[in-house]
Structure 1
Amino acid sequence: MPDGELRQRSDSRLRGARAAAYVGSGSVSAGQDVGGLGIGASNVVNGTVWARTFGTARLGQIQGMAMSATITAAALAPLVPAIALSLTGSYEFGLVTLAVVAAVALLLSFRSGVRE
């Protein structure tokens, strides 16, 4: 085994040991652990669902369009409750509006069929 490969393996083992010690010391809460696992799992699930739903022929193009829409929505969504607060003095209407939009999007997502 070349010396560089051995050094690289030991460095990664040390990083893993440091991370385990950090988590074991109670510095990271259980919620953060669960959140990290959820985010990691969602990356795998997303890739699988995209490929099964749309096929792989234009997967990159479809994911790129979806990511553009996601980023745009994430940038514009805070405006809805802010405008509601300005007009009504409360966030309630804006948050209800966002909840309705999310519910409609969820219902529309069930209409798309999975490609076999």
Structure 2
Amino acid sequence: MGKQMTEMLKGTLEGIVLALLATSPAYGYDITARLREQGFTDIAEGTVYALLIRLEKKAFVAVEKVPSEKGPPRKVYAITPEGQQYLDEFWRTWSFLSDRISQLHTEGQGS
């Protein structure tokens, strides 16, 4: 991933992870795998785990420890009502920015 992509991703990764959790609760490794399936192949597990800790501190996700067949219990993350509110605002902001950027791109093509 290029530097520009990495910088843009920093500002949107919280919303992306919450969007994944809005479809179904998941544990950290599963979230990383789902991100990679979506094309975010360079995201490290450590980045996702650090993000999940921040989301938990903000009360955007709830954590449930679920027994694992191998090793210690897994932490399963689920979006909270506060997280859903944040995600809704994220999508409104994303739509606004996306529309403006597309408009600028289209206008720039005509020059």
TM-score w.r.t. length of structure 1: 0.31
Greater relative CO, 1 or 2 (CA 8 Å, sep 6+)? 2
Larger helix proportion of the pair: 1
